[in-house]
Amino acid sequence: MAAGRTRLVGLLEEPPTPGQAPRVLGVDEFAFRRGRRYGSILVDVEAGQVVDVLPDRTSETFAAWLTAHPGAEIICRDGASSYTKAIKEAAPAALEIADRWHLLQNLSDAVE
């Protein structure tokens, strides 16, 4: 059976959403449809499991999720300013750290 990434994204099932955020929360954007529609994926970094999928990558949506699901002590994110804004607004006590992929990408760019 042939399947492209759009077909596979369409097969994703919504994970059960916990009432509280995991201690170490990862957030990153992904494309539902490249160049047209983006979402945010939230991951329990310690367990390596998807916690939730948000319909967009706006600071308002992520801040609302953080407000409804308190408890994240560390938030691992990319450099998107919308995620920074949401964290400062809804989880100011959480420690923000850059994710591994972006750290390596920045290091690689600096070396080149």
DSSP 14: P
Averaged pLDDT for residues 49-71: 94
> What phi, psi does 98 have (nearest 5°)?
-80, 145
Rounded-to-integer distance, Cα 68 and Cα 71, Å: 10
pLDDT of amino acid 35: 78
pLDDT digits (tens, 9 = 90+) for 4-47: 666 666 666 655 666 788 999 999 998 888 878 899 999 999 99
CA distances from 20 to 68, 73, 92, 95 (A): 8, 11, 16, 17
Averaged pLDDT for residues 67-76: 94
pLDDT of amino acid 75: 95
Strand partners, 97: 76
